[in-house]
Chains A and B, each alone.
Chain A
Amino acid sequence: MKTRLVTTLTGVLASLTMGAAVAQSDFPSEDLSYVIPFGPGGESDISARLQQEYFKEITGQEAVIEYKPGGGGAVAWSQFNDMPSDGHTIIGTNLPHIILQPLAKDVGFETSDLNNFYFFHYSPDAILVPADSPYESLDDLVDAAEKAPGTVTFSGSGTYSANHVAQTRFDSLADITTTYIPYKGTGAAVTALKSGEVQAEWGYSTVAANHQGDTRMLAIASSERHPLFPDVPTFQELGYDLEGGAYRGMAVPEGTPEEAQQRLSEIFQEINEDPAFVERMQELGFFMVDVPVDEVDEFLAERQAEYEEVARGFDLID
C-alpha cells in the first residue's frame, strides 16, 4: 500500500513537471483511448485490461479499450494515423506482425508508419505436445524429424506469424524439416494438438499456462526459465539460439508530441514494474520486457534484422 502511495505521488509529481512542456496542465488530462487491433478475449485484450487497472491508479484516468479487429491487426494499424494525435489515443502493436505483414504484402501501412513508444512483454515461443505424447524431450522430437523429414507436424496460428517464424527458424537451426499447418488462431491450433491431429504445436508459454492439464512444453524461447515452468528448459540451454515470440507494445498516431510519448512511455514502464502486475502477467505465461521510447528504434531494428532473415526464407524479399 505504501509503495503504491509513493508511486502515485511520484507519478503525480512527474506528470505535473512534464505537464509544462505538454499543452495541457497535466497529462493525461482525459480518458485514454486504447485501441486493440483484435477482437475481445485475445491475449492483447487480456494484457490491456490488466494494464487498464494500473493505469487508472497511476493517472486517475480511464484507459478505455476499443476493439478494431480485421486482417490480423492490419485494418486497425492501417487506419491508425488518422486518429487524434494529442496523446490520448494509443494502439496496441504486435511483433512480428507489424514488421512481417508489410513485408509480405500490401496491407495499407509500413512498419515505419507506426510510432511505437513502449514494448512491455512477450509471449515466448514454445513447443507444446499433448500430455501423453511419446516425445519426452526436445531431442526426441528432433530425432523423429531427422529420421522422417516432413512427417512431424506442428499446428500454429496463422501464416507469417510468430508461430510460423519460430518453426522456420528452429527448422534451420536444428537442420530438420517439419511441416507447419496454420490454423485460425491459437484456440484452433491448441484444439488440433489436443485432438491428436498434429503431433506438436508451435505456440507460446501463455498457451501452456492456460492448458496445463493436458499439454506439456518441451522448450521455451526465453532468456531464462519461466517462473511458472521451472522444469522446462530454454532453447538456448539446449543449444539452439532461439529467443523471442510475440512481443506487445503500444504506439501513438503520427504527430503526437514527443513529451506525450515520453510521458506515456514512463506511465507504462511504471505499470510494468509493479510487482503485482508482473505476477499476474507471469501467471498467465508472459515474459516481461522493458523497452522505453528512446530504445524503441534500436529494438525494432534488431527484430527487423531477425525477421528479414526469415522473410528471405519465405521468399518474401530477396
Chain B
Amino acid sequence: MSWSFLLAALTPFNLMLAFIGVGAGIIIGGLPGLSATMAVAVLVPVTFGMEPASGLIMLGAIYTGAIYGGAYSAILVNTPGTPSAIATTFDGYPMAKRGDGDLAVTLATLSSVVGGLTGAIALLTLAPLLATIALQFGSVEYFWLAVLGLTLISALSEGATLKGFMGASLGLLLSTVGVAVVGGDVRYTFGSSLLLGGVEIISALIGLYCIPVLIDLVATPDPHLRVSNKAGGFRLREAMGLALRSKFNMARSAVIGTVVAILPGAGGSIASLVSYSEARRSSPRRERFGQGEPDGILATESANNATVGGGFIPTLVLGIPGTPPDAIILGALLVQGVRTGPELFTENAAISYTFIYGLLIATLLLLPMGLIIGRYAFKSIIAIPKAILAPTVAFMTVIGTYAIRNNTWDVLIMLVLGVVGWFLNRAGFKPSPIVLGLILGPIAEQGFVQAVLMGQAQGAVVPMFFRGPISWTIVAIIVIATLYPLARLVLGNPRGSGEVRENE
C-alpha cells in the first residue's frame, strides 16, 4: 500500500473521471426509471479506451453515485432507483410527503458517505481476509439466507402480515417464469417468447413502484410534495444532529452492508433490508419506522453504499462478482486483459490500489456533490408542473426499462405489473414484498434444489440443510425473528404501542 498509488488516484485525469462518474451516477440513479446496473452496463464500453485503473475508477464512481442517487427517486417519487433503495422508500417517501424531503435527502447523503467509506476501507485493508467469508457460503446457506429475507418481509408488514405473505408468494411465483436454471424447464411462458426471459427485476421494480405513483400523480392538481416551512438550504445541521444521534445505527448498517455484499449474489436489497430491520428492532422510536423516521433512511443508505466497496471484495480477490454491476465490471476487466485473483494484489497491485483509492475519493465526493445535486433535485421536483413531470417520468420508465436488456417486452411487463400493482396497493398489498419475493425467489430455489441434489449424492438430504455452523446460525436467527414478535404479542408489549395496526 504505497503512497504512489494514492498519488496515481489523484492525477487530474483520474480525479476528473471520479468527478464525472459520481455526477453521472447520481443523476442516473436519481432518475426514476434508470438504474445503477443499467448505468454501468451502458457506460462500460466508454472505459475500454482507458487504462484499466482509470476505467475502474470511473465505473466505481458511477456505481457508487448511482447507488446513492437511487435514494433521490426513492424519497421524492417513491420509486427506488435501484433494488438497493427499496428500503429507503419506507421512510423516505413519507418524510417527503410531509415536507421533510430535503432533510431526507441530506440524511441519505451523510449516511451514504459513511457507508461507502466503510465498504471502501474494508476493501482496502481487509480484502483477502474477508473474501474467505464468500467461500463459506454455499447453496444451503444461500437458501436459508433467502428464507431469512422472506421472514423479514413479514416482519415489515406488521399488521398486514398475511397480505405481505401473499405479496411475497406472488413475487416468488413470478420469479419462476422463464427458463429454470435447475431442471432446464421453461415455465409459465405459454409458448410465447415474451416471457421467455422471465420477469426482469428492475422492470418489475420500476413498474410496481413508479407506475402507481404516476397514476395518482395525474389524478389531482395538488403539488406532488409538500414543502417544509423551514428555511431553504440543506438542513445540514439538523441532519448532522440526527446522524450523530444515530451513529451506532449507521456504523452497524455499514458493516451489515459490507458483509452481505461479500456474499456473491446477495446484493444491496438484502443488505438494506436487513439493516433496516435491525435498526427498527433496536430503536426506541420503533413505531415511527415506516412513517418517516430518519433512522430508517440512515440505516438503509449506509448499508447500500457499503455494498459498493464490499461487493468488490469477492470480485477482485476471487473473480466472483458480488453484485450484478460487479459482474459487468469484472467482464470489463477481463476484456482489458486484467486477471483477477491474488495477482491483482501483487503483480497488478498498481491497478487495484489506485482503483480503491479512487473509489475512496469518489465516495468522499458524494458529500459535496450530493448536497448540491440533492438541493436542485428537490427544488425541481416541486417546481416542475405535473404536465411535464408526468411525461418525463413516464419517458424515463420506458427508456430505463428498455435499456436493461434491449427488449421492448420488458417495457410491457413493467407497465402491466405497474397497473396491477396500483390496484393491489389500493387494497393494501404493498409492492415491497412482491419485489423482494421476485429477488429472493431464484436464490431460494437454486439453493434448495442444489442442496437436495448434493444431499442425494451423499445419501442424506435433510442433514445437508443443517451442515455447518453458518446454516445453524441463520436458522436460529429465522426462528428468533419469527417468534420474537409472537412472543411480544403473547407476553405483553413492554413498550406499550399497539401491535396490530394497518401499515401505511
Direct touching of A and B (C-beta under 8 Å): yes
Show the binding face of A for B, using Cβ within 8 Å.
Answer: 39-42, 45-46, 49-50, 65-72, 74-75, 78-79, 104-108, 150-153, 158-160, 179, 181-184, 187-188, 190-192, 194-198, 210-214, 280, 283-284
Q: A151's contact among B134, B181, B442, B457, by CB below 8 Å, is which? A: B457
Partner of B334, one of A39, A71, A210: A210
Nearest-neighbor residue (CB-CB) of B136 within chain A: A195
Interface string of B160-194 (1 = CB under 8 A from A): 00000000000000000011111111100101110
Q: What 10 A-B pairs have minimum CB-CB distances, sorted nearest first? A: A41-B331, A70-B197, A159-B184, A108-B193, A197-B138, A179-B457, A71-B196, A195-B135, A78-B193, A105-B186
Task: Scan B303-337; emit 1 where CB is below 8 A from any A CB, else 0.
Answer: 00000000000000011110000011111101101
Partner of B341, one of A42, A49, A72, A213: A213
Residues of B within 8 A of A158 (CB): 181, 184
A-chain residues with CB within 8 Å of residue B405 when the two chains form the complex: 39, 67-70, 75
13 additional A-B residue pairs with CB within 8 Å, beyond A184-B446, A190-B319, A192-B138: A40-B328, A42-B331, A45-B335, A46-B334, A50-B335, A74-B196, A74-B197, A106-B191, A107-B186, A107-B196, A159-B182, A182-B184, A212-B341
Question: In the complex, A196→B48 CA distance in Å?
Answer: 35
Residue contact A210 to B339, C-beta cutoff 8 Å = yes
Question: Which residue among A75, A108, A195 has the maximum number of chain B CB atoms within 10 Å of its CB?
Answer: A75
Select from chain A the residue with minimum beta-carbon distance to B332: A41
- A181 and B138 in contact (CB under 8 A), knowing A78-B196, A191-B318? no
Q: Which residues of A contact B342 (CB under 8 A)?
A: 213
Known A-B contacts A68-B405, A68-B406, A179-B457; the reply to A213 vs B343 at CB < 8 A is: yes
Q: Are A67 and B41 in contact (CB under 8 A)?
A: yes
Whether the Cβ atoms of A211 and B186 lie closer than 8 Å is no
The number of residues on chain B lying at the interface, defined by a beta carbon within 8 Å of a beta carbon of chain A, is 58
Residues of A within 8 A of B330 (CB): 41
* CB-defined contacts of B265 to chain A, threshold 8 Å: 188
Nearest CB in chain A: distance from B179 CB, A: 5
Report B-chain residues with C-beta under 8 Å of the C-beta of A184.
181, 442, 446
Q: B458 at interface (Cβ–Cβ under 8 A)?
A: yes
Q: Which residue of A lies closest to B442 (CB)?
A: A184
A75-B196, A187-B327 as given contacts; A105 in contact with B185, CB under 8 Å: yes
Evaluate whether A70 and B196 lie within 8 angstroms (CB atoms) in the complex, with A40-B44, A183-B450 already known. Answer: yes
Please give the distance in Å from B407's CB to the nearest CB on chain A: 6
In the assembled complex, B428 has its CB within 8 A of some CB on chain A: no
Q: Do residues B179 and A71 form an inter-chain contact, with CB atoms below 8 A? A: yes
Nearest B residue (CB) for A40: B328
Q: A135 to chain B: closest CB distance in Å?
A: 16
Task: Give CA–CA (A66, B332) in the complex, Å.
Answer: 15
Contacts of B138 in A (CB 8 A): 192, 195, 197
Taking CB atoms, residues of chain B closer than 8 Å to A197 are 138-139, 454
> Cα distance A46–B334 when bound, in Å?
7
A192 / chain B contacts, CB cutoff of 8 Å: 138-139, 450
Give the distance to chain B from A223, nearest Cβ to Cβ, in Å: 26
Smallest Cβ-Cβ distance to A74: which chain B residue: B196
How distant is the Cα of A27 from the Cα of B138 in the complex, in angstroms? 51
CA distance A41 to B323 in the complex (A): 13
CB distance from A36 to the nearest CB of B (A): 10
A71–B48 alpha-carbon span in the complex (Å): 28
- Inter-chain CA distance A196–B191, complex, in Å, is 39
Q: How near does chain B come to A304, taking the closest CB pair, in angstroms?
A: 18
Q: How many Å lie between the Cα of A41 and that of B340 in the bound state?
A: 13
Q: Give B334's nearest chain A residue, CB to CB.
A: A46
Tell me if B264 counts as interface (CB < 8 A to partner A): yes
**B456 touching A179 by the CB < 8 A rule?**
yes
Q: Determine whether the beta carbon of A71 is less than 8 Å from that of B198.
A: yes
CA distance A210 to B182 in the complex (A): 25
A286–B289 alpha-carbon span in the complex (Å): 54
Residues of B28-52 contacting chain A, CB below 8 A: 41, 44-45, 48
Interfacial chain B residues near A75, Cβ < 8 Å: 193, 196-197, 405, 407
In the complex formed, the residue of B with least CB distance to A316 is B184
Cβ contact within 8 Å between B319 and A211: yes
The CA-CA distance from A45 to B197 in the complex, in Å, is: 19
In the assembly, what is the distance between CA of A41 and CA of B325, in Å?
A: 10
Q: Is B5 an interface residue (CB 8 A)?
A: no
Q: Which residues of A contact B320 (CB under 8 A)?
A: 187-188, 190-191, 194
Q: Do residues A41 and B328 form an inter-chain contact, with CB atoms below 8 A?
A: yes
A151 to B44, CA, bound (A): 42
Measured CB to CB, the closest approach of chain B to A259, in angstroms, equals: 29
The answer for the CA separation of A214 and B320 in the assembled complex, in Å, is 13
| Shortest Cβ distance from residue B400 to the other chain A in the assembled complex, whole angstroms | 15
Q: How far is the CB of A81 from chain B (nearest CB, A)?
A: 12
In the complex, the answer to whether B186 meets A183 with C-beta atoms within 8 Å is no
| A297 smallest CB distance to B (angstroms) | 25
Q: Report the minimal beta-carbon distance from B142 to chain A, rounded to whole angstroms.
A: 10
Shortest beta-carbon distance from B18 to chain A in Å: 22
- In the bound complex, do residue A150 and residue B197 qualify as a contact, i.e. CB atoms below 8 Å apart? no
Are B328 and A182 within 8 A (Cβ)? no
Measured CA separation A198–B405 after assembly (Å):
32
CB pair A187–B264 under 8 Å, yes or no, is: yes
In the complex, which of the residues B180, B328, B459 has the most CB atoms of chain A within 10 Å of its own CB atom?
B328
Is B234 positioned at the interface, with any CB of A under 8 Å from its CB?
no
How far, in Å, is B299 (CB) from chain A's closest CB? 29
- Look across to chain B and name the residue whose beta carbon is closest to the beta carbon of A69: B405
**What residues of A have a CB within 8 angstroms of the CB of B184 in the complex?**
104-105, 158-160, 182
A106 to B190, CA, bound (A): 9
7 A-B contacts (beta carbon < 8 Å): A68-B406, A182-B184, A183-B181, A184-B181, A187-B264, A192-B450, A195-B136
Return the contact of B321 from the options A45, A49, A187 (Cβ within 8 A).
Answer: A187
A42 and B178 CA atoms in complex are apart in Å by 20
Whole-angstrom CA separation of A106 from B45 in the bound complex? 34
Q: Is B137's CB within 8 Å of the partner chain A? A: yes
For A41, what are the chain B residues with a Cβ–Cβ distance below 8 Å? Answer: 321, 327-332, 334
Q: Are A106 and B186 in contact (CB under 8 A)?
A: yes
- Which of B182, B183, B197, B335 is within 8 Å of A49, CB to CB? B335
If A107-B186, A190-B320, A195-B138 touch, whether A46 touches B331 (CB-CB below 8 Å) is yes
Cα–Cα, bound, A159→B186 (Å):
11
Residue B453 CB within 8 A of the other chain? yes
Bound complex: CA A187 to CA B183 (Å): 19
A181 with B454, Cβ < 8 A, contacts A40-B44, A68-B407 known:
yes
User: Closest residue of chain B to A181, judged by CB?
Assistant: B453
Min CB distance B208 to A, Å, is: 20
- Please measure, in the bound complex, the distance between the C-alpha atom of A67 and the C-alpha atom of B402, giving whole angstroms: 11
Contact A70 B450 (CB under 8 A): no
Complex CA–CA separation, A61 to B151 (angstroms): 54
A196–B186 CA distance with the chains assembled, in angstroms:
30
Complex-state Cα separation, A214 to B186, whole angstroms: 35
Q: Is the CB of B192 within 8 A of A108?
A: yes
- The minimal Cβ–Cβ distance linking A178 to chain B, given in whole angstroms, is 8
The chain A residue sitting closest to B180, CB to CB, is A159
* Residues of chain A contacted by B182 (CB below 8 angstroms): 159, 182
Contact flags B280-296 to A (C-beta < 8 A → 1, else 0):
00000000000000000
| Complex Cα spacing A182 to B183, Å | 8
Q: Is the CB of B446 within 8 A of A179?
A: no
In the complex, which residues 398-456 of chain B have their Cβ closer than 8 Å to any Cβ of chain A? 405-407, 442, 446, 450, 453-454, 456
